[in-house]
Structure 1
Amino acid sequence: MFAPKISQLFYPQAASLIALAPSETILKRTALTGGASWLDIFLLAPGILSQQDAPKVNDSEYPATAAMTTGYVFRVENQATVGYLQRIGKTGHLTTLHVEERPDSLHIDPLASFAYLAGVASTACVAAALAKLGDHAALGFLGSLIAARALNVAVLKRRARKGWKGMPEPGTYGDLMVLVSQDKWVRIRGLVDDLKTVTAGQWLQDMSALDSLLASAASLLVYGSVAFAWQATPLGSALTAGLLALSATLLGLTNSLTTKLRMFGCVVGVTDVKKYERRLFMAQDIVRERRAAGDSNVDWALRLGLVKDAKDLGEVIL
């Protein structure tokens, strides 16, 4: 028996099918980083068409939140932050986070950065190999996807502008309690202005007419890339399909290795996780801690429904 040729093992449309496959890896990366980087255009993975849907990462949840310093109750409006809370929270556990301003936050997760850069380098290597092979159709396929990514990144950079965040309260320290679905309890601590940056207002601005035009052009480029894929050589098609599969894997790995959220120059990360058998025990523990620090405010626990009345906190508030 003769070994089959690559043309018998691989179909030229495989790369285009992978490119059009639904995937949330790019969308989730956008939410974790709070926006997009120009390097993103060289990370080609399925899901390019869904990047502008990043605000859906929270599954329409806006969890109830209380400022433990003042007792005011509101909701976390930033969808990317909610998505992060859903991800790091654990049922029946209190997860404590700290937020701080850190403009230079590129290397906050070194392993994730390495996987990300490996994906970018893979695109460069495959493009160089295709150029050496003289497979112009496969290069056109990659070029179309890169152009689509560039347009989407441009739109996201226009939309990811820091807008209304409430009145500034410089130097004031805040402490938030967030009740995420599935009994995931999250406490976020830090300066009030930093807390507002990651929780208040609108994350991505609504798309303007120009944004919609650019996003539509990006979609046309992705669908139009199919024409190039059909004309590619079997080897070129194999290389591009392999690149898309590898990039999707590396981007998924990047997301899983990313432990912190970046948002408008602030970084949010986990500092502690503690299990509780009852929400009441958690509330009592926090009240005890805050009383030791000189704050006896328990309105937040009442307004969030953690307790029915102050008596439920028993000796903690006496």
Structure 2
Amino acid sequence: MTCHQRHTNQISSVLSLISSLLHCPLDSSPLLVITESVFHPIMFTSTFPTMSLDLVGIIFLADLSLIAQRTALTGGSTFLDTFILCPGLHRQQDAANVHRGEYPAVAAMTTGYVFRVENPATVNFLQRVGHTGQLTTLSVTNTRKTRKGWRSHFMSSIDSSMSLGAVAAYLLAVSSTIAVSYLLVLTEDWWGLLVLTVLMFTRFINVLLIRSRSRVGWSGASEPGVVGDLLVLLSQDRWVRIRGYVDDLKAVTSGEWLHDMTWVESAISGFTTLLVYLNVALASNAKLSGQVMLLLLFVGTGGLLGLVNMLTQGLQMHGNLITVDIPRRKYRRRLDLVEALICETGRDDWAVRLGMINPSQASATKGSSAGNAAFNETLTM
């Protein structure tokens, strides 16, 4: 048998096998056999799993700090925030921990007193604006007269420190929740609407708790008309200078921002957290279209709120607004910073108490005699 005959027999055997599998007669052309094998109906009758978003509610429980960060930046919460729904909404009461446990030392360069920044929201803002090896200068402005009535309850989340883009992103996040609610009604997805309503109710209760906890309390003795100048030493060699009236400086640095929750407030906060977990189960009953809308709403609003936080350049606290005043200035070393500030303020007792210079380096001609007498004394307001 020749080589050509062997190849012909092998091809015939393969075609016969394919024909038997496809129940095709042997006299069918090879092209027809191959075509039928490629487009055989069995390839289109395979069952693929349908898409399911029954676990879409898990996104509600994502441990993000977006809302807590927003609460710290605004110094509280407004009723308009009820429409801001994004992952981590059940963690709003943890806003008091945004400073990550840091209480930096601060010196009053006008008096020489040294104390600590006790307000966690202010510390968090200083951490955001401070840069390593640079002096960041901030100013404190009183805004109590411009925020009264309905605006303080609904619109204080929008302030002059927000750029146009931040305002647009915030309003878009609010309108997104309203739009999704309307679409759920149109599609008659009552389970989806229930899930959204429960989330908004949870948000509303947390807003009330934050407003209750953030009332103005003790901030030291009043010193009307006195101008202050503070130097804050943060971790990672970040230096921040804060200037303004002493009463305003005390309001943003001392005292208590969010008081500890009472047992009633703790019970309410726990109840709202359980509602969010319950919503994870309820979301599985929504229509697929409703689940998709909830997923897009949370992802989209989370991105928008993160953008708002990033574009917000100021901190609201107890009727005051803290903003960056002048461009940052770099220093080759801390001693250069200290010498420049001592030359500007005309005293060095604060630098000694902060440990930035040795007592032997202090000039007896700078600062009060009482202030230079106790170099290592730490005073509080």
**1:178 aligned residue:** 232
Contact 1:116 1:250 in 2 (8 A): yes
Which position in structure 1 is the counterpart of 2:84?
Answer: 43
Mapping for residues 48-59 of structure 1, pairs under 5 Å: 48-59=89-100
- CA-to-aligned-CA distance 1:103-159 (integer Å, 9 cap, x gap): 336331133222111100000011101110000011111011101101111111100
Q: Which has the higher contact order (CA 8 A, sep 6+)?
A: 1
| CA deviation after TM superposition for structure 1 residue 307, in Å | 1.0
Mapped partners of 1:135, 1:72: distance in 2: 62
Instruction: State the match for 1:293 in structure 2.
Output: none
Equivalent residues of 2:77, 2:207 under 8 A apart: yes
For residues 19-46 of structure 1, give each alpha carbon's deviation from its aligned partner in whole angstroms, at most 9, with x where no partner exists.
Answer: 1111010110010001111111111001
**Is 1:151 matched up with 2:205?**
yes
2:214–2:257 Cα contact (<8 Å) kept: yes
**2:114–2:353: 8 Å Cα contact kept in structure 1?**
yes
Q: Within the alignment, does 1:137 sit opposite 2:191 as a pair?
A: yes
Hey, what's the Cα distance between the residues in 2 that align with 1:115 and 1:315? 54
Q: Secondary structure at the match of 2:316?
A: strand
Greater CA radius of gyration, 1 or 2? Answer: 2
- Residue 92 in 1 paired to residue 109 in 2? no
Rounded to whole Å, the distance in 1 between the matches of 2:335 and 2:226 is 28
Judge conservation of contact 2:352–2:362 (CA < 8 Å) in 1. Answer: no
For 2:212 and 2:202, locate their aligned partners in 1 and report how far apart those are by CA, in whole Å: 16
Q: After superposition, give the CA deviation of every residue in 1:206-251 in whole Å (9 maximum; x if it has no partner).
A: 1012211221121121111123201011111000110000010001
Cα pair 1:198 1:263 within 8 Å, conserved: yes
User: Aligned match of 1:107 in 149, 159, 182?
Assistant: 159
Q: Does the 8 Å contact 1:98/1:271 carry over to 2? A: yes
- Secondary structure at the aligned position of 2:50 is classed as helix
Seen in structure 2, the aligned counterparts of structure 1 residues 25 and 170 have a Cα distance that, compared at 3 Å, is same
Contact 1:40 / 1:153 at 8 angstroms: preserved in 2? yes
CA distance in 2, matches of 1:52, 1:32: 14
**Amino acid aligned to 1:230:** S
Q: Secondary structure at the match of 1:58?
A: coil
The correspondence for 1:164, drawn from 214, 218, 226, is 218
**Which whole-Å CA distance do the structure 1 matches of 2:365 and 2:356 have between them?**
16
Which residue number corresponds to residue 304 of structure 1? 354
Contact 2:184-2:193 within 8 A present in 1 as well: yes
Contact 2:135 2:330 in 1 (8 A): yes
Q: Which amino acid aligns with 2:72?
A: A
Contact 1:302-1:310 at 8 Å conserved across structures: no
Distance in 2 of aligned mates of 1:196 and 1:315 = 29
TM-score (norm 1): 0.92
Uncovered stretches (5+) of structure 2, i.e. residues with no partner: 1-42, 148-155, 368-381
Aligned to 1:289: 344
2:307 is matched with 253
Question: 1 CA distance for matches of 2:364 and 2:298?
Answer: 59
User: For the Cα contact (< 8 Å) 2:349–2:366, is it kept in 1?
Assistant: no
TM-score normalised by the chain length of structure 2: 0.77
CA distance in 1, matches of 2:273, 2:134: 42
2:90 partner amino acid: L
Moved more, 256-265 or 281-290: 281-290
Q: Aligned-residue CA RMSD in angstroms?
A: 1.9
Gapped runs of 5+ residues in structure 1? 291-295
1:280 aligns to 2:335 (yes or no):
yes
Residue 317 of structure 2 aligns with an amino acid whose one-letter code is M
**3-state SS of 1:77 partner:** coil
2:244 alignment partner, SS class: strand
Contact 1:12 1:233 in 2 (8 A): no
1:38 maps to a residue whose letter is F
2:50 maps to amino acid: Q
Q: Tell me which residue corresponds to 1:11.
A: 53
CA distance in 2 between partners of 1:254 and 1:204 (Å): 22
The separation in 2 between residues aligned to 1:263 and 1:107, in whole angstroms, is 12
2:106 paired residue number: 65
Q: Which amino acid aligns with 1:23?
A: L
**Stretches of 4+ aligned residues off by more than 4 angstroms:** 312-317
**Counterpart of 2:236 in 1: which secondary structure?**
coil
Deviation at 1:49, TM superposition (A): 1.8
In structure 2, C-alpha distance between the alignment counterparts of 1:98 and 1:302, rounded to whole Å: 25
Compared CA separation, residues 244 and 97, structure 1 to 2 (3 A) = same
- Stretch deviating more after TM superposition (247-256 or 209-218): 209-218
